Chain A
Amino acid sequence: MQAATQLDRTFAALADPTRRGVIELLRKRPRRAGELAAALEMSAQAMSRHLRVLRRTGLVEEDGLDDDARVRVYRLRAEPFAGLRDWIEEVEAFWTDQLSAFKAHAERPRKGKHP
């Protein structure tokens, strides 16, 4: 149930095109809020609202740059994506098992039928 809720939040946060844009940019490297706002052509205030949603979902985090802790940057967090991945892999594993059971059954020798 916990996992499903996290997944719902992930979906909801990602349903917005601006927030997907932010994720796309952060996939390449961590960035400052100002850079994100400029890249996506929006006000600092609007960007800050989107970043708040992404932070709450745990999709991104804000912290200091590795070589200069005074520079605050946003970076991607892997955990929410892992939840999504687990869920998709579960469905995939379900059907993989099913198809291999189907194959075993379909290919077993049958009475009265030529192969």
Chain B
Amino acid sequence: MKVTTFVHVEPQAAFDVFTQETDLWWGRGPKFRFGGAKRGVLHFEAGPGGRLFEEYDGGAVYEVGKILVWEPGARLVFEWRIPNFAPGECTEVEVTFEAGDGGTRVVLEHRGWKALRKDHPARHGLDDVAYSRMLGMWWSELLSSMRERTG
């Protein structure tokens, strides 16, 4: 699934705010944070291999995932694993920053439900191509048709 916004700052500034001031803009409360009632601070560690994590008083950490692509001012890809995921399950978030008229178009895509582990019951032995095709095209088409139908 994909969501977009437009911000009236340059791509580099948008990227910097996204990754360096994360804790300031990221939603608060259990809906957006990972530590339940614990108050944590959210960080991106710069560079590929860095982490997105939340740090709590006393130094405990919840790691959401590793940074896979780090292109300042252009593109960011990181793993996304929330506490209710089964062990080994992981998805991926890609954020692109594209210069537009007077600002930056920011596109965030949360994908990789296809990255569910190979033995996940949902996969039923489908190979990667078949599975991602199913999750991608077929899925969204079906959903939009069901949306029309079910209101």
Contact = CB atoms under 8 A, between A and B. Distances in A.
Interface string A80-115: 011011001001101111111111111100000001
A69 interface: no
Contact of A102 (B7, B131, B150): B7
B18 interface: yes
B5 A81 contact: no
Contacts of B130: 17
A27 B145 contact: yes
B21 interface: yes
Contacts of B24: 105
Interface stretch (B52-60, B61-69, B118-126): B118-126
Most buried by A among B4, B9, B25, B31: B25
Contact of B124 (A15, A23, A91): A15
A75 to B, nearest CB: 12
Contact of A91 (B1, B7, B138, B147): B1
B64 to A, nearest CB: 13
Contacts of B110: 91, 95
A8 B121 contact: yes
B1 A106 contact: no
Interface string B1-12: 101111111000
Interface SS of B by simple majority: mixed
Nearest to B109: A95
Interface residues of A, number: 33
A92 B108 CA distance: 10
Contacts of B123: 15
Most buried by B among A78, A92, A98, A106: A106
Contacts of A91: 1, 110
Interface of B: 1, 3-9, 13-14, 17-18, 21, 24-27, 31-32, 106, 108, 110, 121-124, 126, 130-131, 134, 138, 142-143, 145-147, 149-150
Given A15-B123, A15-B126, 7 more contacts: A12-B122, A20-B138, A81-B146, A92-B1, A99-B5, A101-B27, A106-B25
13 contacts: A11-B121, A78-B150, A82-B150, A85-B143, A92-B3, A94-B31, A95-B108, A98-B25, A99-B5, A102-B7, A102-B106, A105-B25, A106-B7
